[in-house]
Amino acid sequence: MRKLLVFVFCLLSQAAWAGKIELQSGAGNIPAILEREAQYHLDAFLMFIADHPDIVSDVSYMDNIRARAIGMTVARFEYTYEINGRSFTKVYHARSGRSVGGTVADARYGSGGTSDSGTMNEDILREAQETEYYPRDTPFNVRARNLTPVPGSGIVAQGPRSDAELKAVRAIQTNIEDGIIPRGGTLTAYVSKTPCQSCTNAIRNFAEEYNVDGTVHFMIEGKGTVEGPGKVKRSMRANQTFFTKQKDRVKAQFRNGNVRKPTSIAWGEDSERLLATQRELELTGATSTAEACE
Amino acid sequence: MKPHLRLAVFASLLPLSSLAADTPPFDAYKALVQFRVQNHGAASAFDATTNPLLSQLQVDTASPYSDLIDQPVMANETWWPVFLESVPSGVVAPGDTIVGMLQWQLGLTKARPNVDVTVSDEDTARYRGHEAAANALKAEVDADIFWKARDLNGSHFAEAAGEAVALQILRDQIARNDAEDYESLAIKPDVLRRYMEQTNPERVDDSGREYLGTILRHAITSRPSFEDGGSRRGLPTIYRVARTAAAYADADGYTRPGGYCSGNQPRPSAPDTWPIQSGSPLCFVAAHDRAVTAWYRWELRDEAVRRPPPPEQSGLSKLMHWVGVALLLIDGAAFMETIDAAVADDLAFEGALSDEEAELASRRASRLTCGIHR
């Protein structure tokens, strides 16, 4: 914990020279925003394992999957740019970790680490193919997945990495390189944990290479008993709220022997699925959730 | 924009009431749980379930109009005076008691004008009715927000109430935080400004509604701190939403003068079954918050399923469809357990409870909310 705090303080004090993108601790509405983001990624895992009854019925395997789902970092990167004086915002939705299939395969061997279930490049390909688990990409909402580094770019990481921030930055970079969006935009990003050093460097290099301004707001892990400035504590509280709710959601949705496949949704369009859930409750005649459990 | 100009713009988004000195409320239930954890252990502190606790605080738990018990059984326990001594001085307002604060914060109180809620003539004019004002003031929703959300949602009171409370939370966040921190707190004054300037329901932007829905859902399923837009008196968000919807119903009027109330009391013909079995309005000012919330859930279902807005206004339904399931989670049967889990989380963060002890409360709540946890 002490190491993490030292890193956080260094990160915050470095903000001034970290290119044009600052890294700042955040709180307030950020856990609310990321809570919603997290559900997209949990749904992806639920869609995968719901088709594998052997996994769902394996208590130990499910324990490991739950641990990975709870521990994942979630990020939302909003890239705003102007075309002919009109402003557009494209949102990149990202989580840490390998492909859904790769992560589930890794979970067979424990709650952390990776297995020998494929090389990094194989997993990148696999993640690219996992479109059916996620909302369909639209011009302004896309899933940020692992990508190979752009040759000659400074946006690199030490060793094979699958951080949420790195995925998001590389997705924006690739869109810029492909001419889909212009360089020189503004980034507002929210991340559920403190970015690692490697990601911090990648973000800084991205800002410099593509002339991007903005701020990455992250929530700091830690307890309220830790000494620190009020903003740091508030960020820690926000992180704890997010983490507790993530834990509760995972426990409720990833139940041994009972995983319900979520209805497909679009980015930012939870309403249809939730309305379906609501209708389902209507049909069962349940007047309370406790009753609906039985 | 220059800092002083920015502040002037933000100040213009705030009514005078929001600029008045605000102080965080004392969380009576959290203090009680914390005291019980320290003195009796976590297992004992979290062994209360909804019904036994309610029967200590309400005269008739089977009535939506139940009166309150001033002197609950727990106040006769040997530990109670010690608990009262542990409460910081000055946190209990003159005329109030710790038991009264508990009852308010647990949604057991009514909204009778000038009994539970002070209502001036100006308030009555602002909210267009004595009862409407009492309900809306208890919900802590400013009159301009109250009417704007109503205007932009037509007859969909349940939706309007959700939006009104979300907008109020956002306005309170703007008032209670420094403008320079808005970005790092994801507080978006523009969303409030655009909404308040809008006159055409079809032009309320989806991203704004999505943002408001996100804020509201989080506030309903957690215990927002004061600076994050929580209630001035510690009333849980779900009760604020329900009271706002009741205020709309009262402001809309009833075919019979006075509606279901006779003064501050329910008419003999007013619905009085519990749990509530239909969406018939209650005499809202005489009903406790939990009963009003049960009515509100019926109203929400009615709007979402039986009276959906026309397709060209589909944006209207997004906010409450998303929040709808969260509302279902906060149901009557499990509400105490859900609150316990949130309090335990707070205490664990502050180091007053171990993670394992907090887990105890979380497990208990999870058993009751099972697989619908969205």
Each residue's pLDDT, cut to its tens digit, for chain B (374 residues) gives 444 444 444 444 555 444 444 788 999 988 988 898 888 888 777 776 677 788 899 999 889 999 999 999 999 999 999 999 999 988 888 888 999 999 999 999 999 999 999 999 999 999 999 999 999 999 999 999 999 999 998 888 888 999 999 999 999 999 999 999 999 999 999 999 999 999 988 788 878 888 998 899 889 888 899 999 999 999 999 899 999 999 999 999 887 776 889 999 999 888 777 767 677 889 999 999 999 988 888 887 777 666 666 554 544 455 555 565 556 555 555 567 777 787 888 888 888 888 878 877 777 666 555 434 44
pLDDT confidence bin for A18, thresholds 50/70/90? very low
> How high is the pLDDT of residue B345?
82
CB-count burial class (<10 Å; 0-12, 13-18, 19+) for A125: middle
Residues B66 and B148 grouped into a single domain:
no
Chain A: give the shortest CA distance to residue B358, in Å. 10
> Chain B within 8 Å of A287 (Cβ-Cβ)?
yes
B176 and B278 inside one domain: yes
- Residue A185 above 70 pLDDT? yes
**pTM for this predicted structure:** 0.86
Residue in B with minimal Cα distance to A254? B371
Which pLDDT tens digit goes with each residue over B310-364? 554 544 455 555 565 556 555 555 567 777 787 888 888 888 888 878 877 777 6
Our CA-based measurement puts residue B116 at a distance from the nearest CA of chain A, in whole angstroms, of 29
CB contact residues (below 8 A), chain B span 289-318, against chain A: 301, 304-305, 317-318
- Please give the structure tokens belonging to residue A158: 């030490």
E strand or H helix at A186: strand A186-191
Residue numbers in B near A241 (CB within 8 A) = 222, 345
In A, minimum Cα distance to B174 occurs at: A28
User: CB contact, 8 Å: B369 with chain A?
Assistant: yes
pLDDT at position B329: 52
User: Where does residue B310 fall: left (phi above 0), alpha (psi -120 to 50 degrees), or beta otherwise?
Assistant: beta
Question: Any chain A CB within 8 A of the CB of B74?
Answer: no
Which residue's structure tokens are 């059984």?
B73
Residues B71, B184: one domain?
no
B304: DSSP letter: I
Average pLDDT of the residues of chain A: 83
Residue B197 lies in a domain: yes
Q: What is the pLDDT of residue A149?
A: 85
CA distance A24 to chain B (A): 7
**Closest Cα in chain B, distance from residue A142 (Å):** 16
User: So what's the pLDDT on residue B234?
Assistant: 93
Which two tokens mark B156? Answer: 């969909």
A-chain residues near B341 (CB < 8 A): 248
Among residues B322, B270, B331, the alpha carbon closest in space to that of B298 is found at B331
The whole-number pLDDT of residue B310 equals: 59
Whole-number Å distance between alpha carbons of A87 and A80: 7
Q: What DSSP designation does A88 have?
A: E
B73 lies in some domain: yes
Distance CA B76, CA B37 (A): 19
| Domain identity same for B281 and B363 | no
C-alpha A2/C-alpha A97 separation (Å) is: 25
The span from the CA of A156 to the CA of B207, in Å, is 33
Q: Are residues B126 and B151 in the same domain?
A: yes
φ, ψ for residue A3, nearest 5 deg = -60, -45
Do B147 and B65 sit in the same domain of this protein?
A: no
Domain contains B315: no
Residue A198 has pLDDT above 70, yes or no: yes
| CB atoms closer than 10 angstroms to residue B55 | 14
Q: Do residues A251 and B296 lie in contact, with contact meaning Cβ atoms separated by under 8 Å?
A: no
Per the structure, the complete domain to which residue B292 belongs is given by: 121-304
User: Do B241 and B106 sit in the same domain of this protein?
Assistant: no
- Output the six-digit token pair for A250: 């995972």
| A233-268 confidence digits (pLDDT tens) | 999 999 999 998 899 889 888 999 988 888 766 676
Asked, for residue B309, whether it belongs to a domain, the answer is: no
> Shortest CA distance to B237 belongs to which of B315, B338, B151, B372?
B338
Ramachandran bin of A184, using left for φ above 0, alpha for ψ from -120 to 50, beta for the remaining angles: left
Is the pLDDT reported for residue A13 higher than 70? no
Interface touch A28/B186, C-beta < 8 Å: yes
Cα–Cα distance for residue pair B329/A281, rounded to 1 Å: 11
Q: Considering only CB atoms, which chain B residues are within 8 Å of A271? A: 317-318, 321-322
Q: What is the DSSP letter of A148?
A: P
Beta bridge partners of A213: A186
Taking contacts as CB-CB distances below 8 angstroms, the residues of chain A near B374 are 39, 249, 253, 274, 277
Q: Is A244 on the interface with B (CB under 8 A)?
A: yes
Nearest-by-CA chain A residue for B297: A287
Nearest to A170 by CA among A159, A157, A188, A184: A157
Q: How many Å apart are CA B6 and CA A244, to the nearest integer?
A: 36
Cβ A275 vs Cβ B318: under 8 Å:
no
Q: Are residues B232 and B340 in the same domain?
A: no
| Together in a domain, B138 and B37 | no
Query: Helix, strand, or coil here: A177?
Result: helix
Q: What is the pLDDT of residue A84?
A: 80
Strands B261-262 and B265-266: antiparallel
In a domain, residue B116? The reply is no
pLDDT band at A8 (very low <50, low <70, confident <90, very high): low
Q: Say yes or no for a CB contact (<8 Å) between B371 and A255.
A: yes
Segment A47-70 mean pLDDT: 95
Q: With contacts defined as CB-CB under 8 Å, which chain A residues touch B183?
A: 24, 188, 215, 217
For residue B334, give the nearest of B77, B26, B51 by alpha carbon: B51
Residue B207 lies in a domain: yes
Asked which of B255, B270, B304 is the last residue of a domain, the reply is: B304
Contacts of B38 (CB under 8 A, 6+ apart): B352
Disruptive mutation site among B34, B173, B228, B357 for chain A (greatest number of A CBs within 10 Å): B228
Q: B215 and A32 in contact by Cβ < 8 A?
A: yes
- Whether B173 contacts chain A with CB within 8 A: yes
- Interface mutation target, options B327, B328, B343, chain A, most CBs of A under 10 Å: B328
**Is residue B217 in a domain?**
yes
| Residue B14 pLDDT | 52
CB contact under 8 A, B331 and A289: yes
> Which of B186, B324, B365 is opposite residue A26, by nearest beta carbon?
B186
CA distances (Å), origin B241, targets A107, B158, B235, B266, B296: 42, 8, 10, 22, 8
What is the structure's pLDDT at B3?
43
Partner-chain contact B368 A293, CB within 8 Å: yes
Task: For tokens 């309005």, name the residue.
Answer: B281
What CA–CA distance (Å, rounded) separates A267 from A273? 12
B254, B287, B304 - which closes a domain: B304
Asked if residue B348 and residue B268 are part of one domain, the reply reads no
Cβ–Cβ under 8 Å, residues A185 and A80: yes
Most B CBs within 10 Å: which of A225, A287, A294, as the mutation test of the B interface? Answer: A287
Do B295 and B337 lie in a common domain?
no
Which neighbouring-strand residues pair with A101? none
DSSP SS3 for A75: strand
Residue among B227, B322, B372 whose CB faces A270 most closely: B322
Distance CA B326, CA B318 (A): 14
Does some domain include residue B139? yes
> Which residue in A28, A37, A21, A20 sits closest to A74, CA to CA?
A37
CB pairs under 8 A between A and B: 155
Other CB atoms within a 10 A radius of the CB of residue B91 amount to 16
Is B175 an interface residue toward A (CB < 8 Å)? no
- Alpha helices (H) in chain B, listed in sequence order: 3-12, 16-19, 28-40, 42-45, 50-57, 79-86, 98-105, 121-126, 130-139, 143-151, 157-176, 189-197, 206-221, 237-252, 289-301, 315-329, 335-349, 355-369
3-state SS string over B140-162?
CCCHHHHHHHHHCCCCCHHHHHH
Say which amino acid occupies B306: R
Query: Into how many domains does chain B fold?
Result: 2
Q: What is the ipTM of this complex?
A: 0.85
- Asked if B367 contacts B336 with a C-beta cutoff of 8 angstroms, the reply is no
Contact A287 B210 (CB under 8 A): no
CA distance B217 to chain A (A): 8
Residue A234, C-beta contacts closer than 8 angstroms, at least 6 positions apart = A27, B227
End-to-end CA distance of chain B: 40
Would you say how long chain A is, in residues?
Answer: 294
Interior angle at CA B100, CA B79 and CA B282, nearest 5: 135
Query: Is A229's Cβ below 8 Å from some Cβ in B?
Result: no
Are B102 and B148 part of one and the same domain?
Answer: no
pLDDT classification of A3: cutoffs 50, 70, 90: low
Q: How many CB atoms lie within 10 A of CB B205?
A: 13
Determine the residue of chain A that is closest to B329 in CA distance: A289
Q: Which residue has the higher pLDDT, A117 or A135?
A: A135
Q: Given the DSSP bridges, would you call strands A74-83 and A186-191 parallel, antiparallel or unpaired? A: antiparallel
Chain A, residues 31-60, CB within 8 A of chain B, namely 31-33, 35-36, 39
Cβ distance B351 to A217 less than 8 Å, yes or no, reads no
Residues on chain A touching B185 (C-beta within 8 angstroms): 26-30
β-strand partners of A151 = none
